[in-house]
Amino acid sequence: MNMDIIIQPIYLVSAGLFILSLMWMNHPSTARRGVFAGVVGMLAAIGGTLLLPEVHQSSFFISYRWIGLALAIGFGLGIPLAMVPLTAVPQRTALSHAFGGLAAGLVGAAEFYLSATGNRATALSAFETSALVAEVLLGFLTFTGSLMAAGKLTEIIPTRPILYRGQNAINLSMLAVAIVAGVLLVINPSWWVLFPIIIVLALTFGVMLIIPIGGADMPTVIALLNAYAGLSAVAMGFVLDNKLLIAAGALDGSSGLILSIIMCKAMNRSFANVLFGGFGQVRARAGEAEHRTAKSASAEEAAQIMEAAQNVVIVPGYGMAVAQAQHRVRELFDELTKRGVNVKFAVHPVAGRMPGHMNVLLAEAEIPYDKLVEMEEINGELPQADVALVLGANDVVNPAARHDQSSPIYGMPIIDADKAKTVFVVKRSMNPGFAGIENELFFADNTLMLFGDAKAMIGSVVQALKE
């Protein structure tokens, strides 16, 4: 029986489910459906792959026993990774990209080894070798690059850019040598010694690509690494002659690239500036030139002003995520809404440590979807807002982005929180954000600082409202 009659329709259904998954995840109200579609699509893809005739061929060193063991290990690693708190989702996402890149790289290495030793059903053609080189290069650099990104997000590795003289030239030279080695391998596959050189250069380049990038650019980096992982899957699909891998990889790669473009636009940055700009270096000195005093307020004073307000805009940031304050924010939302106050949430595209970070946290607290307003829309309403409550956001509300041409964030679209009648900023200290610069908003005449942990401070405001 020709198994293609069964397998190809399964692959077609899987590809359709992947497309629907991406489409449904465009909106919070259909996101759960999108996740479910993606899971079902992947299960179908795995089931279809297990039906391939190659799975039963001992010459390929493949058996259901080894596949079952691999699935057990995958489940054993995946379940604990899925149970991390929402504040750890950015670094968990980076680890997922790392595993995806490693898988692609290992499959490429295995295919090259099988071909070199004559154990592959057919020798690799020039096109397949080209695809294999791209797969290995992208897969292994995604692996180490994603590990570095996860390290920066967890602050195991310094979040500031790590720079040295001639860094960009060295990095690009390393990539060029890997590409030249790949071209030579395509021309003459018998030069197998070039293959491990490509792997080592790819692993090293992944590290060197990420260390000069500051923590403020991690949302863009995560999206870009997602694109690399997708492209490596496309190349793997060509090597294995698997149409579903090509389709799924193309979806992954294109969505990651589009998201990277959106992130760069939201920060008014270019890809070159993100990858080679060393964003955040020498920024710590920016706040030393002038010493200003910020005004502070108590939770009770904040409660009184917000209770008397008609319109309140809440601007969530990474500080809310770290403190896991989203449920306290929901309590504040309920208390103000009961008093007839119109409350909205202003969500910046790069707030937090990954795209959609704030949306996920607010959705977990069951904040109504229609209360989450994008930056472009909410900025028109902020001059009429009585109160803007900034929860741990920093660079995305810094007015210096509008007028200070010497600032590293100059030109970056920001949420105009400073235009509200009264601004409350909840923050542990006056320390700068990831851009490493002082925030002018903290010293504005209409700003009052609420110093402390976001969860505890918002809890105190809620308690003051109840009393």
The token pair at 60 is: 């390929």
CB-CB neighbours of 132 under 10 Å:
28
The token pair at 54 is: 């190659």
**CA-CA-CA-CA torsion sign (117, 237, 228, 62):** negative
Q: How far apart are CA 416 and CA 387, in angstroms?
A: 12
The token pair at 32 is: 């759960």
Q: Which run of H or of E encompasses 296? A: none
List residues bridging with 388 in a β-sheet: 313, 423
Q: Give DSSP secondary structure letters for 362-412.
A: HHHTT--GGGEEEHHHHTTTGGG-SEEEEES--GGG-THHHH-TTSTTTT-
List residues bridging with 314 in a β-sheet: 345, 389
Q: 3-class SS at 447?
A: strand
* Among 392, 147, 395, CA closest to 266: 395
**CA-CA-CA-CA torsion sign (166, 172, 175, 176):** negative
Catalytic residue among 395, 416, 418, 453, which? 395
Q: Residue type at 463?
A: Q
Q: Which run of H or of E encompasses 149? A: helix 126-153
Q: How far apart are CA 402 and CA 162, in angstroms?
A: 28
| Residue 352 near residue 320, CB atoms below 8 Å | no
Q: How far apart are CA 24 and CA 196, in angstroms?
A: 41
The token pair at 108 is: 């490429």
CB-CB neighbours of 187 under 10 Å:
10
**Measured between alpha carbons, how far is residue 181 from residues 110, 201, 229, 295 in Å?**
18, 10, 21, 60
Q: Which residue has the tokens 């920066």?
A: 152
Q: Give DSSP secondary structure letters for 181-213.
A: HHHHHHH-TT-TTHHHHHHHHHHHHHHHHHTTS
- Known catalytic membership, residue 404: no
* 67 CB burial (10 A radius; 0-12, 13-18, 19+): middle
| Residue 230 near residue 238, CB atoms below 8 Å | no
With vertex at residue 247, the alpha carbon angle to CA 128 and CA 205, rounded to the nearest 5 degrees, is 60
Residues annotated as catalytic are: 395
